[in-house]
Structure 1
């Protein structure tokens, strides 16, 4: 009978030990599930950022293509305008005379100003009420 009691006590102790180990494993499994959830959320967040950055890159590429097309069109219009001006100058003596004439003195002085190191220097120069310098130079049109 003593042996039977000892075997029962040993079986109860073993069952208790197994229950304790199962609880520990259950806690570890829950912790692993929390870690998996956190990592999954991090991966999803990273994927969202990657998708947003890819979309931004595609949008910027389209904008760049649009700007390049606009620049090309502007360059073409500038060439046409320059060609038209040159053609008019070649055809019309009055236009050539006007184009090569010097600007009035006041306008020439407006085109000339000293070099400024900063915006404060420019504001100081403006508030000084200085006369515009007389360049005496012909300005290129």
Structure 2
């Protein structure tokens, strides 16, 4: 009878040990599931970011194409305007004379300014007192 009791106690101890090990395995499985969930969320977030970046790249490419087309059109308009101006200059002596006349000093100074390295340089230049002549005075023209 003692052997049966010892075997029964040994079986209970072995069952308790297995239950404890199974509980530990369940905890490890739960922890692994949490890690998998975190990693899956990270992968999904990365995939969403890649998708957004691809969409942005496509949008920027379309915008670049639009800007290039606008630049081409603006260049063509500038060339057409230059051709038209040259045609007018070639056709009309009065326009040629007007075009060749130098600008008054004040207007010339408005168009002439030094190169600026920064916005602060430009602001200093503006507030430096580069005054134009009084508009009430007559110039050479």
Which category describes the TM-score, using the shorter chain as reference length? 0.7 to 0.9
Tell me, what secondary structure is at the counterpart of 2:129? coil
Normalised by the length of structure 1, the TM-score is 0.84
Aligned to 1:106: 106
Task: Please state how far the C-alpha of 1:109 moved relative to its aligned partner.
Answer: 2.8
Q: Quote the Cα distance in structure 1 between the aligned partners of 2:121 and 2:54.
A: 45
Confirm or deny that 1:31 pairs with 2:31: yes
Aligned to 1:16: 16
Gaps of 5+ in 1: 134-141
Contact 1:112 1:132 in 2 (8 A): no
Deviations 1:106-127 (CA, angstroms, capped at 9, x unpaired): 2123233455565555545544
Q: Quote the Cα distance in structure 1 between the aligned partners of 2:122 and 2:132.
A: 13
Deviates more, 1:113-122 or 1:74-83: 113-122
Normalised by the length of structure 2, the TM-score is 0.84
Tell me, what secondary structure is at the counterpart of 2:28? helix
Deviations 1:50-92 (CA, angstroms, capped at 9, x unpaired): 0000000000000000000000000110110000001111111
Question: Which aligned pairs between 1:1-141 and structure 2 lie closer than 5 A?
Answer: 1-114=1-114, 119-120=119-120, 122-131=122-131
Q: CA 1:93 to 1:58, structure 2 compared with 1: closer, same or farther past 3 Å?
A: same
